A and B are shown apart, each in its own frame.
Chain A
Amino acid sequence: MKPQRRLVRSLPLAPTVVLLLLFLAGPIAYCVYIAFTDLQLTGQAHSSFTGFANFRHAFGDPEFRNAVWLTLVFTVLSSLVGQNTLGLALAALMKRASKPVRTLTGGVVITAWVLPEVVAGFLLYAFFRREGTLNAILDGLHLPRQNWLFTLPILAVSFANVWRGTAFSMLVYSAALDEIPSEITEAAEVDGAGGWRRMWHITLPMIRRSIGTNLMLNTLQTLSVFGLIWVMTRGGPGNKSQTLPLFMYEQAFQNSMIGYGTAVALLLLLVGSLFSVVYLRLLRTEV
């Protein structure tokens, strides 16, 4: 093919490539650059190159380590354990349940997912507040009440993320379970394999690719949750629910250290890229 013709053919790609270069690749490159400077928010004529100072500062900073730890707790609790397991359980139960129950449960769970992030934050804020619904229920059951957003904020925001994100896992697993041929499960049933054994030895191995994909996407989504936590606790009280995105925001804007905030952002981006690459490998055969 003539080079000229090839150029004309790839011309429709131009708007996309330009937008992505300017507004996605550009900021990422800029991110790498300012992570190594002491850029500040205001009153500074020029920033200077400081090498790895921001990163050294981060690893020595107890607040940064606190944020890393909370991000880990938040991700493991809400994404790996919560959304993933509950999503799979819901999808498996739905295959057995009657149609009206299936439709109702699916509708409610998906509504929680479709709601805007900030609205979800407010609904769960109301649910977990001291005078909110959860404590009203605990009172009704004569169980001890808690000031959830104060004593266990990371648990509250993790539950919030499970509430909001489970629908995605449920949809992915429903699609995966539908693809398992019914002869296989029936054969196992005839051979006398009980429900749990069938799940462990047949279903789970057959949908392992979906599990991998779902875990990756859930984790990536959970790593970048900001609005939900911001609305519910602002990262507080103190920094008891301050995950990395909130820590990054606070350093950059409340403490005016854009350079330091960006260094934290770069670390987050690196972790995200790592998960992204693993995700691509899982999908490798499909491109």
Chain B
Amino acid sequence: MARTRASRRLVADICLLAVAVAFALPLAWVVLSCVDPHAGLRVRVPGGLTLDNFHAILTPDITYTPLLNSLILCGGGTALTVACAALAAYPLSRFRSRLNRPFLLTILFATSLPITAIMVPVYALFVRVNLIDTLQGTIFFFAASQLPFAVWLMKNFMDGVPRELEEAAWTDGANSLQSLVRIVLPLMGPGLAVVTVFSFVMMWGNFFVPFMLLLTPDQMPASVSINDFFGNRGMVAYGQLAAFSVIYSTPVILLYVLVARRLGGGFALGGAVKG
């Protein structure tokens, strides 16, 4: 029995390592190419180590402005999403109402709508109401598209905070808003972190929304501006593209690691969509 278990483990290890290698190949390209002075399209050991690729792209035009735009868009969108979701989750979690169930069902229905499909009408609508090519319009849309899932997550996390603590505050004369901000939210720190990080990561990686709703190159976030490496005809500087990809991807990977470590492997996401 012990021997079969050990050999079974070995087989599982070998299979998993094979998958890991296959998944790692495209990742290896970006890691190796960003320090390769003559990077091409295939994975290879760099001819020499250089930081020239990073030096070449660390200019306001190529890196700083798009990253700042990304930060404004995603920071603004996330702040709006989290604030609205926290407010909305409170009555849904604390007060009984006949409307709660239909409201939550609508929210859940909206989480799984393909947002891609409504981008053409959103564009047409934004042209009509003069929100096209504005950061605030894009922020509002980001928040609206992320809100259904954020409200759903936030409500589930808030359900986990016991009511007794609040009742004490109510007898001391605190109103709902005070008990939400002073008692409930501080007690659901990890849940709040998950909602914030998840919203931010989704917006940071989103390409289609800013691609459709913004027109001026100066306002473009990194997810759209990265395509400029291919825009101007001629030689594509693959090393620089790799270096930019690394800089642009690092924040979301760090955020994920931060949250995953605090909450244990599965990221509360596995729990949030459990069936």
Contact B114 A22 (CB under 8 A): no
B170 is an interface residue with CB less than 8 A from chain A: no
Contact A13 B91 (CB under 8 A): yes
Contact B43 A136 (CB under 8 A): yes
Using a Cβ–Cβ cut-off of 8 Å, how many residues does chain A contribute to the interface with B?
99
A230 proximity list for chain B (CB < 8 A): 207
Residue from the list B15, B117, B275 in contact with A93, Cβ < 8 A: B15
Determine, out of A59-67, A150-158, A197-205, A221-229, the stretch whose residues face the partner at the interface.
A221-229
A124 is an interface residue with CB less than 8 A from chain B: yes
B217 is an interface residue with CB less than 8 A from chain A: no
Contact A262 B120 (CB under 8 A): yes
Residues 238 to 287 of chain A near chain B (Cβ within 8 Å): 245, 248-249, 252, 258, 261-262, 265-266, 268-269, 272-273, 275-277, 279-280, 282-283, 287
Residue from the list B43, B88, B92 in contact with A15, Cβ < 8 A: B88
Residue from the list A16, A108, A213 in contact with B20, Cβ < 8 A: A108
Contact A175 B274 (CB under 8 A): yes
B85 proximity list for chain A (CB < 8 A): 16
B141 proximity list for chain A (CB < 8 A): 23
B271 is an interface residue with CB less than 8 A from chain A: yes
A13-B87, A227-B207, A268-B117 known; A115+B145 contact, CB < 8 A: no
Bound CA–CA A24/B151 (angstroms): 15
B183 is an interface residue with CB less than 8 A from chain A: no
A112 is an interface residue with CB less than 8 A from chain B: yes
Residue of B nearest to A227 (CB): B207
A210 proximity list for chain B (CB < 8 A): 274-275
Contact B88 A126 (CB under 8 A): no
Using a Cβ–Cβ cut-off of 8 Å, how many residues does chain B contribute to the interface with A?
91
Residues 21 to 45 of chain A near chain B (Cβ within 8 Å): 22-24, 26-28, 30-31, 34, 39
Residue of B nearest to A260 (CB): B120
A3 is an interface residue with CB less than 8 A from chain B: no
Residues 101 to 142 of chain B near chain A (Cβ within 8 Å): 101, 103-105, 108-110, 112-125, 140-141
Contact A30 B20 (CB under 8 A): no
A147 is an interface residue with CB less than 8 A from chain B: no
Dominant SS at the A interface?
helix
Residue from the list B17, B101, B148 in contact with A105, Cβ < 8 A: B17
Residue from the list A39, A102, A171 in contact with B270, Cβ < 8 A: A171
Determine, out of B54-62, B185-193, B249-257, the stretch whose residues face the partner at the interface.
B249-257
Contact B269 A16 (CB under 8 A): no
Contact digits for B62-103, partner A, Cβ 8 Å, 1 yes 0 no: 000000000000000000100111011011100101010101
8 additional A-B residue pairs with CB within 8 Å, beyond A19-B143, A116-B207, A118-B223? A19-B147, A39-B124, A105-B19, A119-B30, A126-B238, A213-B273, A230-B207, A266-B117
Instruction: State the B residues within 8 Å of A (CB).
Output: 8-9, 12-13, 15-17, 19-20, 23-27, 29-30, 40-43, 80, 83-85, 87-88, 90-92, 95, 97, 99, 101, 103-105, 108-110, 112-125, 140-141, 143-145, 147-148, 151, 176-177, 180, 201, 204-208, 211, 223, 226-227, 238, 241, 245, 248-249, 252-253, 256, 265-267, 269-271, 273-275
Pull 24 A–B residue pairs with CB atoms less than 8 Å apart, ordered by A: A13-B103, A16-B87, A16-B151, A19-B140, A19-B144, A23-B141, A27-B118, A93-B16, A118-B226, A122-B30, A131-B40, A133-B29, A171-B267, A172-B275, A174-B266, A209-B275, A213-B275, A224-B116, A249-B120, A262-B121, A265-B120, A269-B118, A272-B113, A277-B109
